[in-house]
Structure 1
Amino acid sequence: MKTREFGISVVIPSYNRIDTLLRAVDSIDSCQKEKVEIIVVDDCSDFDIYSVLQRYNKNNIPVRIYKNSTNKGPQVSRNVGIRRASFEFVAFLDSDDYFSPDKIDWLLQILANQDIDLLYHAVDGCEKYNKISNLWFKTFGKLLHFRWFICLLNPCVTPSVVIRIKKCLFNPTLRYSEDYAFLLSYVESTTRVKYCDNVLTTVPRAIGTTGGVSGNLIKMRKGEIKGKENLLRKKNISHILQYALSLIFVSARVLSDLIRKRYNFKDFIKSN
């Protein structure tokens, strides 16, 4: 793995979202521009993202643009960004979300002074996730490693996540809950994790609502179950126990969906 200098590469997968993409790029700023870059990965959009972004770079943060040969999904685009990153840390941002003005400088200060592998924070528009994370870290955080938390729930909203680059990549075959599967692969018992209740990212559309990939709830649930299979790769007692507990929790969520008539059981069984 190549040696990278300290700094943050912001990776943005994008597909046919030029208006919100410009807002996302515009939200990335820093007083230390030499330690920041933006990597936009175009997932084979119908228009030329390159020509638009070349003319629009308000904050003068270096922008690099790559384009997939075919539409492959955000998981493949994020892998392109991770591989191409110049800096030690990657911050994920979706093209329809945006950062607060001081986020990058805040991150640079935290990451330079603390030993952290994964950091995530509170998000405007995802209050339920914020409350769950606050409760975990105040109640169980000192007793149980973060890995137990993500085995039971998916507390991290992707545009709030910053990782130290390792060999771990997104599963290119997963189109649903691919970010959750990535976390399950990335986080080990030795991974140093930090959660901050600072609200530093805005997600205009609530996670899991219709209008995006997450709106297909059945496939999202099945993607979550598929991602949990990562727990079985290392055949030790703790991983097997985590897998068993995680299946209980996801089964409870499926049951809740059925009771609330968000979909029916027949469709869930028939769906691939």
Structure 2
Amino acid sequence: MNIKKGLVSVIMPTYNCAKFIGETIESVQAQTYSNWEIIIVDDCSNDHTKEIVEQYSEKDDRIKYYCLESNSGAAVARTAAMSIAAGNYMAFLDSDDLWTSDKLEKQLEFMKKHGVAFTCTAYEQIDEDGKSLEKVIKTIPKTDYNRLLLDCPVGNSTVMYNVEKMGKFEVPNIRKRNDDALWLQMLKKEKYIYGLNSVLMKYRIRKNSISSNKIKVIKYHWILYRNIEHLSIARSVFHILYWCVIKVLKIK
């Protein structure tokens, strides 16, 4: 595996995100740690996403744009980006989320100081216009496979891992919950994902997104538990009910 020391590959699948992706790219360009590349894989957007990205990539060769041959879903786009990435660290960033300017610097410092390979951070929620919703999602010191199954305390756009130590992965091909599915695969190789309880990411809550429709998301939980993780029916039902209770009570 040909990897570049010190380089952070930012994995960014995208689809019809012209409204937000420019600001997302700028949040990476504003990083105090500058040794990064962005691998953007477009899942055949039919808006102006490509044109927006090219405005940035023409001026900054660290930004690399690719487009899938056909619309295949975020999991396929994310896997494609990971296969192209050259960094010995990978960080994940959805094309509508934002990083604080010190995100990479602080997270790398945390990983090196504690000698850990797989990490996430706390984050705050913002609305479609970027306004804070005054809600912070904290992380926990360390999460193992069973804890992540119970109630995933990991924000996708906060995750970073050491590729040299853990290798590359293929994202399980489901339309939603594929980020959780990826972390579960990775936790079979690395025992814990460690949490840095600093708010280093802003998660954008968008209206009418698939994840905002909780009923539809249930079927993806079932696919994840039964078809990908091969849990028993009883255990799968337990985890789905647990997730539903949390959402109803608005604990998370």
Give TM-score, length-normalised by structure 1: 0.75
More strand by share: 2
Instruction: Give the Å deviation of 1:40.
Output: 1.1
Give the aligned residue type for 1:164: N
The residue number in structure 2 matching 1:82 is: 82
Instruction: Give the Å deviation of 1:119.
Output: 0.7
**Correspondence 1:208-219 to 2 at 5 A:** 210-219=207-216
CA offsets, 1:116-147, max 9 Å, x none?
Answer: 221111111184742xx34xx4xxx5xxx622
Instruction: Give the Å deviation of 1:110.
Output: 2.8
Give the aligned residue type for 1:248: F
Give the aligned residue type for 1:159: S
Maintained 8 Å contact 1:12/1:92: yes
Q: For residues 19 and 40 of structure 1, do their structure 2 counterparts lie closer, same or farther at Cα, with a shift above 3 Å needed?
A: same
Cα distance in 2 between the residues matched to 1:189 and 1:86: 20
CA offsets, 1:21-69, max 9 Å, x none?
Answer: 0000000133443x21111111111245444333336994710000011
Higher mean C-alpha deviation, range 68-77 or range 183-192: 183-192
**Correspondence 1:123-272 to 2 at 5 A:** 123-125=123-125, 127=135, 129-130=137-138, 133-134=139-140, 137=141, 146-165=144-163, 166-172=167-173, 174-188=174-188, 190-205=190-205, 210-229=207-226, 230-232=228-230, 247-254=237-244
Equivalenced residues, count = 236
Unpaired segments ≥5 residues, structure 2: 127-134
Maintained 8 Å contact 1:26/1:57: no
The residue number in structure 1 matching 2:104 is: 104
Maintained 8 Å contact 2:38/2:63: yes
Unpaired segments ≥5 residues, structure 1: 233-238, 261-272
SS at match of 1:96: coil
Give the aligned residue type for 2:93: L
Cα distance in 2 between the residues matched to 1:71 and 1:44: 5
Instruction: Give the Å deviation of 1:245.
Output: 5.1
The residue number in structure 1 matching 2:122 is: 122
The residue number in structure 2 matching 1:72 is: 72
Give the aligned residue type for 2:158: S
Give the aligned residue type for 1:96: D
SS at match of 2:13: strand
Cα distance in 2 between the residues matched to 1:48 and 1:20: 11
Maintained 8 Å contact 1:152/1:246: no
Aligned Cα root-mean-square deviation (Å): 3.0
Instruction: Give the Å deviation of 1:254.
Output: 4.0
CA offsets, 1:191-238, max 9 Å, x none?
Answer: 342101100111121xxx742121232331221222224444xxxxxx
Cα distance in 1 between the residues matched to 2:162 and 2:113: 14
CA offsets, 1:151-190, max 9 Å, x none?
Answer: 2112112111112332422112x00211111111111274
The residue number in structure 1 matching 2:25 is: 25
Maintained 8 Å contact 1:30/1:36: no
Q: For residues 110 and 254 of structure 1, do their structure 2 counterparts lie closer, same or farther at Cα, with a shift above 3 Å needed?
A: closer
CA offsets, 1:78-125, max 9 Å, x none?
Answer: 111110111012111111111111112222323344422211111111
Maintained 8 Å contact 1:91/1:163: yes
Cα distance in 2 between the residues matched to 1:5 and 1:23: 27
Larger Cα-atom Rg: 1
Give TM-score, length-normalised by structure 2: 0.80
